Amino acid sequence: MHKASVVIIGAGPAGLCAAIEAAKAGAKVLVLDENLKPGGQLFKQIHKFFGSKEHKAGTRGYEIGVELLKEAEVLNIDVWLNTEVCGIDKEKNIWAVRNGKDAVHIAAERIILATGAIENAVAFPGWTLPGVMGAGAAQTMINIHRVLPGKRVVMLGSGNVGVIVSYQLMQAGADVSAIVEASPTLGGYGVHTAKVRRAGVPFYTSHSISKVIGKEKVEAVEIVALDQQWRPINGTKKVLEADTICLAAGLSPLTELAWIAGCQFHYIPELGGHLPIHNRYMETTAAGIYVAGDITGIEEASTAMEEGMLAGINAAASLGFYSQKEKEQLSAIVWDRLDALRCGYFGQKRKTAKERMISVGKKVIG
Amino acid sequence: MIQGALKTTGAPSLEELKKSPAFPRAEDYQIGPIAVIECIEEIPCNPCETSCPKGSISIGKPITNLPRIDFNRCSGCGICVAACPGLAIYIKDYTYSQDEALVTFPYEYIPLPEPGDTVILVNRQGQEICEGLVKKVNSAKAFQQTTLVSVSYPKQHFEEVVNMKRR
């Protein structure tokens, strides 16, 4: 049986920031991640981040990843990669499988779940053909493995993921034939849509993919216009040339471990569905278990990092590394930065949804 | 909910831009090279403000405020062009010469153009407008891999041109 005071599950932006804060406070930290490399999705984020200086704005995602890993190394944070967590019991004992073969048990005093999210799939005739993939998968191929998935791409979904990955596919040398959006208005930041529009990419709003054309692989894609109830309109089908279709239809929080750990859930559709209830200290209803990042609701790496810090500070404080006063002060500083990210046209909805969760958390947890 | 050109076509219309506080009026272009900020949505972001060495761009708090710019203090240096994570700023110089204007825009595709190259310039919808002559290609380290490309082009297309066609 291994022992650690704070075990963090997930070495993405939220998990790494949680680890750094907990270690800075003096806790013995162990980070577990099922992947072969730490950093979560940061290393494929080759674009500059938004926000202000405190949020590392203007820095490219992968450079933030490098900075976080350096900080973790200086703090002697233990990171176990290729380690899949399979179970958490009521005493906070973790059962994990290392390198696909060795079962290990870790006794944790505190656990922070920073497991992230998974891309949503969209089903249409031909969606299982080679060449149809998640936008995040295409982004991993081009920016991590440096493999171009295709030459002509049709993107389904105009949220920030859809438009950012479209831009990066062009940077990698592909052409983007179109970005198809079921809603009548585009989802992503205007600065992102403007960037791909001036590169000549057309947007099809109120459209969806009706089928993929091709026997062995994607050869073309048929799109169709949608009416106000999002039903296909007869006679509006159109064929676009494509060898790759990317799906950017949102993400769902990876909450399995929170269910296993016995956390209570609350349903907030704007944030991605059923989410573990947490308070403003990122504490869940399961004693000693904290959450941070996309598992608490789909947002961005910038907010995930802040939430990670909150969870790290408060997990450490609950072990006695900070006084009540220090914990409140440190948390308030992070909350100011979080509030700054969650305002304006795009942030307000998430802010309101998050406030709902925090008020439920306050009632249930305190 | 915003329902204009930006949210339906992807690119802002001139009408939408003119309503935003930082977009230059015709007389502002008479000063010399100035930064044109095409940022009309309230997103949490302020590197333009913090990067400007002259303090000519202001956002303040909350950081979702739209940027404002004092054109009398803007020298058109281009630092904000590389700093903007949205690639939403370029420099335009109406006073460049008798017949030609100069545009300096952010460019993150390869291959990069070289000074002396003739390139095709495009408008906000990606339509080809005219040819231009590359004057300068600046990949300074501080720009963090956003290259600034300066291109001269006929003044008659002054307003439409915003970037170049990807090669």
What are the extents of the domains in chain B? 5-164
Q: Which among B45, B61, B110 is the nearest to A50, CB-wise?
A: B45
Distance of alpha carbon A146 from alpha carbon A213, whole angstroms:
27
pLDDT at A265: 98
How far apart (Å, rounded) are the C-alpha atoms in residues B118 and B135?
10
Q: Which of A110, A67, A102, A82 is closest to A301 using CA atoms?
A: A67
Q: Is the pLDDT of residue B1 over 70?
A: no
Note the pLDDT of residue A345: 84
Give the angle B113-B117-B118 at the CA atoms, nearest 5°.
Answer: 110
- Chain A residues lying within 8 Å of B127, measured CB to CB: 200
Last residue of a domain, one of A193, A222, A247: A247
CATH classification at residue A209: 3.50.50.60
* Range with lowest mean pLDDT among A238-242, A341-345, B4-8, B139-143: A341-345
Type of residue numbered A290:
Y
Burial class from Cβ neighbours inside 10 Å (0-12, 13-18, 19+) for residue A276 reads buried
In this structure, the answer to whether residues A260 and A350 fall within a common structural domain is yes
Boundary-marking domain end, from A190, A223, A247 = A247
Query: Average pLDDT in the A344-349 region?
Result: 89
What's A201's DSSP letter? P
* ipTM entry: 0.97
Q: Do A203 and B10 touch (CB under 8 A)?
A: yes
Both A359 and A291 in one domain: the answer is: yes
CA distance A356 to A298: 15
Question: CA of A230, closest CA in chain B: separation in Å?
Answer: 16
Same domain, A307 and A281: yes
Asked if A114 and A259 sit in the same domain, the reply is yes
- Cα(A70)–Cα(A98) distance, integer angstroms: 24
- Structural domain boundaries, residue A220: 121-247
Domain count, chain A: 2
**pLDDT, tens digit (0-9, with 9 covering 90-100), for A268-318:** 999 999 999 999 999 999 999 999 999 999 999 999 999 999 999 999 999
Tell whether A63 and A111 lie within a shared domain: yes
Nearest residue, CB atoms, B85 vs list A49, A179, A342: A49
Mean pLDDT of B132-156: 97
Interface check for A349 against chain B (CB to CB < 8 A): the answer is: no
Residues A317 and A212 both lie in one domain: no
| Chain B, nearest residue to A175 by Cα | B166
Give B51's contacts in chain A (Cβ within 8 Å).
Answer: 58
Residue A89 and residue A126 in one domain: no
Are the Cβ atoms of B1 and A193 closer than 8 angstroms? Answer: no
Q: Distance, in angstroms, between A297 CA and closest chain B CA?
A: 19
> Rounded to a whole number, what is the distance in Å from the CA of B38 to chain A's nearest CA?
8
Under 8 Å between Cβ of A170 and A196: yes
- B90-123 tens-digit pLDDT: 999 999 999 999 999 999 999 999 999 999 999 9
* Residue of chain A whose alpha carbon sits nearest to that of B123: A198
Which one of A247, A265, A294 terminates a domain? A247
Q: Which residues of A touch B57 (CB under 8 A)?
A: none
CB pairs under 8 A between A and B: 141
- Kindly identify which residue of chain A lies nearest to residue B62, measuring between CA atoms: A340
Q: Which residue of A has its CA nearest to B81?
A: A58
Of A178, A169, A201, A130, whose CA–CA distance to A44 is shortest?
A: A169
Is the pLDDT score of B2 beyond 80? Answer: no
Residue A223: pLDDT over 50: yes
A101 and A196: one domain?
no
**Which percentage of chain A shows pLDDT scores above 70?**
100
Helix, coil or strand: residue A116: coil
CA–CA distance, A150 with A140 (Å, rounded to integer): 13
Give the tens place of pLDDT for each residue, A314-333.
Answer: 999 999 999 999 999 999 99
Q: Which chain B residue shows the shortest CA-CA distance from A46?
A: B145
Q: Residues A228, A292: one domain?
A: no
